[in-house]
Amino acid sequence: MAIGAGTELALSQYLVHQLDGQLVDAARRSAMISGYPPPPPRPDGSGPIRRPGPGPEFLDAPGQPVGLVAAVITYDHTMQAGVLTRLGAREGLSQAAQTQVAAITPRDRPVTRDLDGLGRYRLMATVNRLGEVIVSGLPLSDVDETMFRVLVIFAVVAAVALLAATTVGIVVIRRALAPLTRVAATAAQVAGLPLDRGEVTLPVRVPERDANPSTEVGQMGSALNRMLDHISAALSTRQASETRVRQFVADASHELRTPLTAIRGYTELAQRRRDEMPDEVAHAMGRVQSEAQRMTRLVEDLLLLARLDSGRPLEREQVDLSQLAVDAVSDAHIAGPDHQWNLDLPDEPVLVTGDGARLHQVLANLLANARSHTGPGTTVTVALSTDTEGVLLRVADDGPGVPPELQSEVFERFTRGDTSRSRRAGGTGLGLSIVAAVVRAHHGTIVVRSVPGDTEFVVRLPFTGGA
């Protein structure tokens, strides 16, 4: 566009300058011819042909260009003006055009005027030997037509060049950015991997052809490969550490079951002779028994989490969640008679495929969590519903709610609330982590939404959620 505009400007100036040269020649010739009377006819009748018409007679002189505008202004301001047509005839000018022509003075250089009824003209004035002002003008129509044609040619060439450049640019850029696209695809694959848990491997790498350090894209691909190597090593180290910890917890829990069973057996035996013991000893034995029971529950929870972490398959059977909800709420009502327990079940039984005992534990733990962390008179509602994707289980209460700073960690192990949700029931801090682990094992999800006066745990399970 810049080249076209510059060319148009230069060409316009050149053509106008060329037309001005022709105009100067025509003006000098017209001034010279107008200063002399027309030649008389020859005896044989030959000679210049005099055609009647308006305007100066020198318009009929040989060599006058077509479209020439000429005007003779005498000292008394009378004017003869006309234009030479393409047919060689003289035509007069309109009054407006005559006024425009009369405004040209000999002092002016060639100027451009839009003459009434004729179009754009280049005009200049000279003085003949009689002192008359001779105004001559040549049309700019040929210049304008040439400029328009050149403009059309530039537009067509520019459109073709732009289309060709765009096509070539797209091809070149796509070929140049193809390695970057492959690097981005590799990064996207890594971003989609579940790096937060379980055995993690990074099978993807940037191909060697895209990891050439001699190019900018290759440097990025090489850096991405090094980063993936570091991430893979870190994940392997983390996984090995977690495996050792889980194995230790599983082994320790398993080994603790035997002495705990013995402790509970001996305390139960001693409790049979409670009347024969001093009060202090009887009280101490009672405390030993209660703490042994609590420690047994903790060990069982740790063993369950260890089994779930190891990926052991769960039972697969058809489970009636409606019946499980009824049983769990009945048990919760016995354990917490000072709470209000509500059930919201569909008319038809809600069936899923999974481990009935573990799903019952999910319900029981959620209800125990609501009972333990809310005060008397709290309303707890269990609701079941289905959609095209699976089953929704909601456990809601109108208690004080989960503190905002704990909501992101509520499903972590050994997470406990503050004093407003204190551990009055002697919980182990593993209840909700067991719920989350069992739900994941059934390929489901669990989320919590809590504000003061409205806390809701939402579990989504697929219809065939058994592991």
pLDDT tens figures, 98-127: 999 998 888 778 999 999 989 999 999 998
Q: With a cut of 60, say whether residue 405 has pLDDT above it.
A: yes
Q: With a cut of 80, say whether residue 414 has pLDDT above it.
A: no
Q: With a cut of 60, say whether residue 237 has pLDDT above it.
A: yes
Q: How far apart are CA 315 and CA 376, in angstroms?
A: 37
Share of the chain above pLDDT 90, in %: 29
pLDDT on residue 290: 83
pLDDT band per the 50, 70, 90 thresholds, residue 381: very high
pLDDT on residue 424: 47
Nearest to 120 by CA among 107, 146, 139, 98: 139
- Stretch 297-311: mean pLDDT, rounded? 75
pLDDT band per the 50, 70, 90 thresholds, residue 425: very low
pLDDT band per the 50, 70, 90 thresholds, residue 423: very low
Q: With a cut of 80, say whether residue 193 has pLDDT above it.
A: no
pLDDT on residue 165: 94
Specify the higher pLDDT residue, 205 or 371: 371
Specify the higher pLDDT residue, 343 or 198: 343
Nearest to 132 by CA among 201, 81, 188: 81
- Stretch 386-394: mean pLDDT, rounded? 90
Task: Provide the Cα torsion 104, 108, 112, 118; round to 10°.
Answer: 30
- Stretch 50-67: mean pLDDT, rounded? 80
Q: Which SS3 state, helix, strand or coil, does residue 323 take?
A: helix
- Stretch 70-89: mean pLDDT, rounded? 87
- Stretch 307-328: mean pLDDT, rounded? 84
Q: What is the mean pLDDT of the chain?
A: 84
pTM of the model as a whole: 0.49
Determine phi and psi for 449, rounding to 5 degrees: -130, 120
Residue 7: half-sphere exposure toward Cβ, Cα within 13 Å: 14
CA angle 18, 23, 27 (to 5 degrees): 155
- Stretch 68-84: mean pLDDT, rounded? 88
pLDDT on residue 419: 42
Lowest mean pLDDT among 176-180, 271-275, 308-312: 308-312
- Stretch 428-452: mean pLDDT, rounded? 87
pLDDT on residue 178: 83
| β-pairing verdict for 445-451 and 391-397 | unpaired
pLDDT on residue 422: 43
- Stretch 37-62: mean pLDDT, rounded? 69
Q: With a cut of 50, say whether residue 467 has pLDDT above it.
A: no
Nearest to 69 by CA among 12, 148, 134, 4: 134
Q: With a cut of 70, say whether residue 304 has pLDDT above it.
A: yes
pLDDT on residue 39: 63
pLDDT on residue 373: 87
pLDDT band per the 50, 70, 90 thresholds, residue 196: low
Q: How far apart are CA 392 and CA 444, in angstroms?
A: 10
